[in-house]
Amino acid sequence: MKVFGIAGWSGAGKTCLIEAILPSLRARGLKVSVLKHAHCVVENDVIGKDSWRHREAGAHEVMLVSRGRWVLTRQWGEEDEPAMREVLAAFGECDLLLVESYKYWPIPKIEVHRPALGKPLMLDELPQVIAVASDEPLATAQVGGREVFALNDAASIAQRICTELGL
């Protein structure tokens, strides 16, 4: 499994970019999985339903299975978030894992940048950024010589990811 990150400030368009590049990656015959980091506690159960009740009663893991899909919920309690190797080991077989956020993980990544948010580029603190996707043109000097893609050019961004990873 190859791993590639999409980083950026909240509201920059990370999720939209992943949504846009997935069809291009799939068209190449790649089996792609996505990991999304959340800063708050995630609740994918419906309060009062059986799987929620099992988890609330103390189950360490609860798997909900239906035709075509399953969801596994694992309790971490008050512990720190799991290490990168533990998270990656939880995924099934795939060609590419796209990681949204987890900006400090040591994986190659594209930074999504919208100047209108008024936030600085993250390049100085994220040396693994290989390119920037922006909704406005950026000067080469602004991005330390890295490639700049139009945020809506999903096909070129998907190509760059594949080139970087040898896919």
* Helix and strand counts by DSSP (H, E) for the chain: 4, 8
pLDDT in tens, the chain (167 residues): 999 999 999 999 999 999 999 999 999 999 999 998 765 555 666 778 777 788 778 787 887 788 888 878 777 766 677 888 888 998 889 999 999 988 899 999 999 999 999 999 998 899 999 999 999 999 888 898 899 999 999 999 999 999 999 99
Beta carbons of 112 and 119 less than 8 angstroms apart: no
Structure tokens at 141: 């000097």
Domains in the chain: ranges and CATH:
2-39+87-165 (3.40.50.300)
Beta carbons of 1 and 87 less than 8 angstroms apart: no
Rounded to whole angstroms, what are the CA distances from 165 to 13, 25, 73, 160? 22, 12, 30, 9
Q: Rounded to two decimals, what is the model's pTM?
A: 0.86
Structure tokens at 109: 């990544």
